[in-house]
Structure 1
Amino acid sequence: MSRENEVGALGPLIGYHLRRASGAFASDFAAAVDGTGMRQVLIGILAVVEGTPGINQGAVGRVLGIKRANMVSLINEVVDAGLIGREVDASDRRAFSLTITEAGRAMLAECLARIEAHERRMLAGFTPAEKATLLDLLGRIERRVAPDFV
């Protein structure tokens, strides 16, 4: 009996397979970064701040698709851990300007190395062309659903 027959009407549903693939990726991702104290969202914040020094927390939230109400506690978490520096933005006294610290750079580098190994494991049977196609297809779905966050 084929796997598709085992799941019945779910077999041809893209969303079902995306959820299953996402679950597998999330589980392996969690194992990959275990012991760092980091989560995917925090790594995303570090990456955006490193790539755009001086960015304000609202802009980080928009880039990553994080609700404004959740950003304050997330930024507090990385600031309290010494991974991000936060200062009042000189051009907008209501906003905070963010910069990555040396500890943040080191943590991001460690996490990215672990994530790269995780992705090599998860995509071991894929050719470079298949990986590129997968990224393109997922990006097309992402842009359709959340065009403001791409």
Structure 2
Amino acid sequence: MIESKDGALNGLEDILGFHIRLAHGAVYRHFTETFANLDLTQKQVSSLWLVAETPGISQIDVGTQLRMDRATTMSIVNRLQERDYLRRERSASDGRKQALYVTEAGKAALAEAKHCIAEHEAWLKARFTPAETEKLVEMLARIHD
């Protein structure tokens, strides 16, 4: 943590956003370390997981559900398709939309990613009791919902 010469944060320790940023940094660093061998980002894993759970979901709906803009969603889907983790098909219900499906390689990558997620979640949840974890999720949801 950054401290002044006298060891105080000069008021920063009372700023909620400061602690959220520090917590996010710690969680992100651990996630990155845990996923280093997979070469997948959080958004890529989330996208792959969502498509696996909802085969045929449109690219637009992936972006909407994960709160990503169209350009980011397209970039992620392109990257996953380049790696043969996803395939696009024209939607049967709306020819203007792209329906997404996970490939066999994508299923294998997702299985490995889920193992890494379990490891990451265990590291994170070890800092809290189950009741604290539930409350923390509830409180954080108030910020992002």
Q: Same fold (TM over 0.5)?
A: yes
Instruction: Show the 5 A alignment for 1:94-109.
Output: 94-109=96-111
In the alignment, does 2:60 pair up with 1:58? yes
Unaligned runs of 5+ in 1: 144-150
1:37 deviates by 1.4
CA displacement at 1:105 relative to structure 2? 1.5
Structure 2 residue ranges without an equivalent (≥5): none
Q: Deviations over 1:78-99 (max 9, x none)?
A: 0111111110112211110001
* Structure-2 separation of matches of 1:75 and 1:125: 34
> Whose helix fraction is larger, Structure 1's or Structure 2's?
1
The residue aligned with 2:18 is: 16
Q: Secondary structure at the match of 2:105?
A: helix
Distance 2:30 2:79 in 1: 23
- Report the residue type matching 2:112 in the other structure: E
Once residues 128 and 36 of structure 1 are traced to their aligned partners in structure 2, the CA distance between those partners, rounded to angstroms, is: 29
User: Could you state the TM-score of these two structures normalised by the residue count of structure 2?
Assistant: 0.91
Task: Work out whether 1:26 is the aligned partner of 2:1.
Answer: no
Q: 1:120 aligns with which of 122, 127, 133?
A: 122
What does residue 132 of structure 1 align with?
134
Query: Which deviates more from structure 2 when the two are superposed, residues 56-65 or residues 7-16?
Result: 7-16
How big is the shift at 1:44? 0.7
% of aligned pairs identical? 36
Instruction: Extract structure 1 runs of 4+ deviating beyond 4 A.
Output: none
Which of 49, 74, 77 is the equivalent residue of 1:75? 77
TM-score normalised to the size of structure 1? Answer: 0.88
RMSD: 1.4
